[in-house]
């Protein structure tokens, strides 16, 4: 069973109900409350990511590189690289044309690569009033998501 966008909701619901009924003997209300809260958080994170992607629509790292005021790329930064998608910085660098940053691709099959640090767009730098002007709650949710990812070391 694959739960994914565009799947038939009735089939997914039926399959999840069956899976939960045979795989769980948990009846504590706290478990179900925590599960519901996690589900809501995941939905909100997805909605916030969609807001970010909408704000990025039609833009490229080249058009954003001079808009970003952060001067550093840090190891572990989530980077947006336009048509390549999202990556993780494997090295630190100053955001200058003379420096390179090692990256781990998240949406490309080649695994790792290297890009000019001046074209590296940290997602944290996009979560500002200047870029996502009408999405304060989405900025906060994505900031929390990035903080949670940074804590997983």
pLDDT bin (cut points 50, 70, 90) of residue 133 is: low
- Continuous H helices in the chain: 9-23, 29-56, 61-64, 123-126, 136-150
For the segment 101-128, the average pLDDT, to the nearest whole number, is 88
DSSP summary character for residue 84 = G
Is the pLDDT at 2 greater than 50, yes or no? Answer: no
Condensed to tens digits (0 to 9), the pLDDT of residues 31-64 reads 778 888 888 888 888 888 888 888 889 999 999 9
Residues 6+ apart with CB under 8 A from 67: 130, 131
Q: Mean per-residue pLDDT for 94-121?
A: 90
pTM of the entire predicted model: 0.71
Q: Is the pLDDT of residue 29 over 50?
A: yes
The pLDDT of residue 102 is above 90: yes
In this predicted structure, the answer to whether residue 3 has a pLDDT above a threshold of 50 is no
Helix (H, G, I), strand (E, B) or coil at 47: helix
Q: How confident is the model at residue 28 (pLDDT cuts 50, 70, 90)?
A: low
What does the pLDDT read at residue 6? 58
């Amino acid at each position: 069973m694959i739960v994914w966008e565009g799947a038939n909701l009735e089939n997914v619901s039926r399959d999840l109900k069956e899976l939960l009924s045979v795989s769980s003997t948990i009846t504590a209300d706290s478990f179900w409350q925590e599960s519901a809260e996690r589900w809501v958080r995941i939905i909100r994170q997805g909605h916030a990511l969609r807001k970010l992607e909408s704000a990025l629509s039609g833009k490229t790292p080249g058009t954003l590189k001079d808009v970003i005021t952060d001067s550093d790329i840090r190891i572990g930064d989530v980077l947006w690289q336009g048509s390549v998608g999202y990556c993780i910085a494997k090295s630190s660098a100053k955001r200058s044309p003379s420096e390179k940053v090692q990256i781990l691709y998240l949406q490309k099959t080649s695994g790792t690569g290297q890009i000019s640090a001046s074209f590296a767009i940290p997602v944290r730098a996009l979560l500002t009033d200047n870029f996502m002007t009408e999405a304060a709650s989405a900025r906060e949710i994505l900031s929390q998501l990035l903080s949670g990812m940074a804590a997983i070391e």
